[in-house]
């Protein structure tokens, strides 16, 4: 019985069969066949088209009732598949030039896609990605390879992948995924965040998982300890059944705190926020006071084209309605780094996390930025919406972004379109260069939220995606505690709201320190609300202040964590 180790990043235990997910990437060479075999090769092409149509029908049927928008993408793919011009060009290449079917398909589809991508209308240009998608489907069938797609799974499985792209997780068939294992990715990678929000047990950073593990192999995934147990014997299975029962018991016990008010043992109130990544309803909003982080990039990543102002306006309005009228902090587009859009090519960068991402990218693409701000401002007429900018590095960033908001406000005024004139504008504090001038930043904004995921990445100069460096990714290091202390006290001094919306806010040990440092607003993944409320309810505020003061004097993160563990256990 073999055991592989990784980082447990979404708590839980799962057992089941594996599904090794490798996205198909075509590798086609220019090649021709001997004259005389034209009909045979044409037939191969036609039969691949028929098989592709069947696959598309199956996907369409499985999505049609629950996600008609996603289903329509596959209906459009079928139209492309049967496009007469494309079929004629492929047929001619096979019949007249004796081109091998895969080469003919690759050449014709790619040429059409290139042509479309150059058209000025973004809606038409976006169709080129669909053409490439259909091309890959036909090429995969011609090469006799099976379909690999996470949006339609035929049975319950544990997924194994090198990494899951945000576009993979966005369309994931949540009902059928029992667990996730990847070779890369740390606790604050987007796969981790999505796994936690879907409550799917996940262990990331398992080296060579896609090579060692096999399709259909039975495993136990211990996402409490970070272990993948291969082909477990009966004793191990029994042991894990008991462990799962204990885990469920603990979850049930913690869940008793879900709908309790967020107060400390001595009755001090704090505010619990929910982090969301889509416009869909989220039942956890019942247990939260506000939405502290609405990651809007998922809206862009789920779409096959750049979302229009109207589409965004509708989505933002829908979020306000789905969140029961509670305040929503909309974070403007945060792409670049590990997040890309399939319909928008960004220049390749050597250090994408230090590159043109998030607010920097939006400031360099004013049309894109203004479209989102127009939609957000218009939605602000329908509920309590705040706007927050990600990846702010300087006071200039704040002023430049606010100037664009002012421009958009004037445009809307001149068009007599209603919006909330007093809309609150805030920033994420996730780069040390802005954290260290928190006093100045506080005077320029209405509020701020600390993104501890990126703040840890940039403070410790450690790639948050690199599973080999997890020991260096220290969100509760003495350096982080000092920097958090500075930000929280400067904002409190200025009387401006300050919250934390990074993963540290959902970590019970982290929240005790944050509360002790003076934080009263924490925004987190829904799956963490119960455990955080349970922990904080067991401490008085003065106890947490003492603990934070003690932690400030400790020299290493390991010692901080040991100290916090003792404190939490003594309050159980």
Nearest to ligand PEP of 231, 349 (CB atom): 349
Nearest to Mg ion of 130, 430 (CB atom): 430
Nearest to ligand PEP of 41, 357 (CB atom): 357
Catalytic residue among 305, 362, 460, 501: 501
Least CB distance to Mg ion at residue 363 (A)? 17
Nearest to ligand PEP of 132, 505 (CB atom): 505
10 Å Cβ neighbour count for 35? 7
CB 223 within 8 A of CB 12: yes
Nearest to Mg ion of 137, 196 (CB atom): 196
Least CB distance to ligand PEP at residue 455 (A)? 6
Tokens describing residue 269: 């109130």
Q: Looking at residues 340 to 399 of the shown chain, list those that interact with Mg ion (rule: CB under 5 A).
A: none
Least CB distance to Mg ion at residue 358 (A)? 7
The region that residue 295 occupies, defined by phi over 0 for left and psi between -120 and 50 for alpha, beta otherwise, is beta
Adjacent-strand bridge partners of 3: 229
Asked if 497 touches Mg ion (CB under 5 A), the answer is no
Interacting partner of 226 out of ligand PEP, Mg ion, none (Cβ under 5 to 8 A depending on kind)? none
10 Å Cβ neighbour count for 226? 19
Residues 204-217: b if buried by 16+ CB within 10 A, e if exposed: bbbeebbeebeeee
Tokens describing residue 375: 């939609």
Asked if 337 touches Mg ion (CB under 5 A), the answer is no
Nearest to ligand PEP of 412, 529 (CB atom): 529
Residue 501 is among the residues annotated as catalytic for this protein: yes
Q: Looking at residues 257 to 286 of the shown chain, list those that interact with Mg ion (rule: CB under 5 A).
A: none
Q: Which of 562, 563, 484 is nearest to 517 (CA)?
A: 484
Interacting partner of 295 out of Mg ion, ligand PEP, none (Cβ under 5 to 8 A depending on kind)? ligand PEP
Catalytic residue among 41, 77, 190, 460: 190
Asked if 297 touches Mg ion (CB under 5 A), the answer is no
Interacting partner of 187 out of Mg ion, ligand PEP, none (Cβ under 5 to 8 A depending on kind)? none
Q: Which of 9, 1, 16, 5 is nearest to 215 (CA)?
A: 16
279 to 90, 105, 323, 472, 514: CA distances (angstroms): 41, 38, 9, 34, 29
Distance in angstroms (rounded) separating the CA atoms of residues 498 and 495: 9
Segment (H or E) for 79? helix 68-81
Distance in angstroms (rounded) separating the CA atoms of residues 236 and 244: 12
Asked if 503 touches Mg ion (CB under 5 A), the answer is no
How distant is the alpha carbon of residue 118 from its chain centre? 30
Q: Looking at residues 398 to 457 of the shown chain, list those that interact with Mg ion (rule: CB under 5 A).
A: 430, 451, 454
Asked if 186 touches Mg ion (CB under 5 A), the answer is no
Tokens describing residue 12: 């839980």
Asked if 336 touches Mg ion (CB under 5 A), the answer is no
Strand order, beta sheet including 157-161: 3-5, 227-230, 218-222, 13-21, 157-161, 177-182, 202-204, 7-10
Residue 190 is among the residues annotated as catalytic for this protein: yes
Q: Is residue 496 classed as helix, strand or coil in its secondary structure?
A: coil
Nearest to Mg ion of 20, 358 (CB atom): 358
Give residues in contact with ligand PEP (CB under 6 A): 188, 293, 295, 334, 430, 451-454, 501-502
Interacting partner of 129 out of Mg ion, ligand PEP, none (Cβ under 5 to 8 A depending on kind)? none
Least CB distance to ligand PEP at residue 215 (A)? 32
Specify the pairing of strand 157-161 against strand 177-182. parallel
Interacting partner of 501 out of ligand PEP, Mg ion, none (Cβ under 5 to 8 A depending on kind)? ligand PEP
Q: List active site positions.
A: 190, 501
Interface residues toward Mg ion, by CB under 5 A = 430, 451, 454
């Amino acid at each position: 019985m073999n055991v592989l180790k990784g980082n447990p990043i979404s708590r839980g235990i799962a057992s089941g069969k594996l599904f090794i997910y490798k996205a198909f990437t075509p590798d086609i060479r220019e090649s021709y066949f001997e004259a005389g075999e034209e009909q045979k090769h044409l037939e191969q092409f036609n039969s691949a088209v028929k098989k592709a149509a069947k696959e598309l029908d199956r996907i369409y049927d499985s999505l049609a009732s629950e996600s008609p928008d996603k289903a329509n993408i596959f209906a459009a793919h079928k139209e492309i598949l049967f496009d007469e011009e494309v079929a004629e060009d492929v047929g001619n290449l096979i019949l007249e030039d004796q081109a091998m079917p895969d080469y003919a398909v690759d050449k014709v589809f790619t040429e059409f896609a290139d042509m479309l991508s150059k058209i000025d209308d973004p809606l038409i240009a976006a169709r080129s990605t669909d053409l490439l998608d259909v091309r890959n489907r036909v090429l995969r069938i011609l090469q006799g390879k099976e379909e690999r797609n996470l949006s339609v799974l035929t049975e319950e499985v544990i997924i194994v992948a090198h990494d899951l792209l945000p576009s993979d997780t966005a369309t994931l068939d949540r009902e059928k995924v029992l667990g996730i294992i990847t070779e890369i990715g740390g606790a604050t990678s987007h796969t981790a965040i999505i796994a936690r929000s879907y409550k799917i047990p996940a262990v990331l950073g398992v080296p060579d998982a896609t090579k060692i593990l096999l399709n259909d192999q039975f495993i136990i995934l211990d996402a409490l300890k970070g272990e993948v147990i291969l082909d477990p014997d009966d004793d191990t299975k029994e042991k894990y059944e008991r462990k799962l029962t204990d885990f469920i018991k603990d979850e049930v016990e913690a869940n008793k705190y879900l709908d309790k008010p967020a107060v400390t043992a001595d009755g001090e109130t704090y505010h619990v926020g929910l982090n969301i990544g889509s416009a869909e309803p989220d039942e956890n909003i019942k247990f939260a006071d506000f939405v502290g982080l609405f990651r809007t990039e998922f809206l862009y990543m789920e779409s096959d084209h750049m979302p229009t102002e109207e589409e965004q306006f509708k989505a933002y309005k829908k979020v306000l309605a789905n969140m029961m009228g509670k305040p929503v902090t909309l974070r403007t587009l945060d792409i670049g780094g590990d997040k890309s859009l399939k319909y928008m090519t960004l220049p390749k960068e050597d250090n994408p996390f230090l590159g043109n991402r998030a607010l920097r990218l939006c400031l360099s693409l004013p049309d894109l930025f203004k479209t989102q701000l127009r939609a957000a401002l218009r939605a602000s007429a329908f509920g309590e919406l705040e706007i927050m900018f990600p990846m702010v590095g300087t006071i200039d960033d704040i002023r430049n972004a606010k100037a664009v908001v002012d421009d958009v406000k004037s445009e809307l005024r001149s068009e007599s379109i209603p919006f909330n004139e007093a809309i609150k504008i805030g920033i994420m504090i996730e780069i040390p260069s802005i954290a260290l001038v928190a006093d100045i930043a506080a005077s320029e904004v209405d509020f701020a939220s600390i993104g501890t995921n990126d703040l840890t990445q940039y403070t410790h100069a450690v790639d948050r995606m690199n599973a080999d460096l997890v020991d260096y990714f220290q969100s509760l290091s003495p350096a982080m505690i000092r920097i958090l202390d500075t930000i929280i006290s400067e904002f409190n001094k200025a009387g401006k709201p300050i919250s934390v919306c990074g993963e540290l806010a959902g970590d019970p040990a982290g929240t005790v320190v944050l509360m002790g440092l003076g934080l009263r607003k924490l925004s987190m993944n829904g799956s963490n609300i119960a455990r955080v409320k349970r922990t904080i309810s067991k401490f008085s505020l003065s106890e947490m202040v003492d603990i934070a003061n003690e932690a400030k004097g400790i020299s290493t993160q390991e010692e901080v964590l040991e100290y916090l563990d003792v404190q939490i256990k003594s309050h159980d």
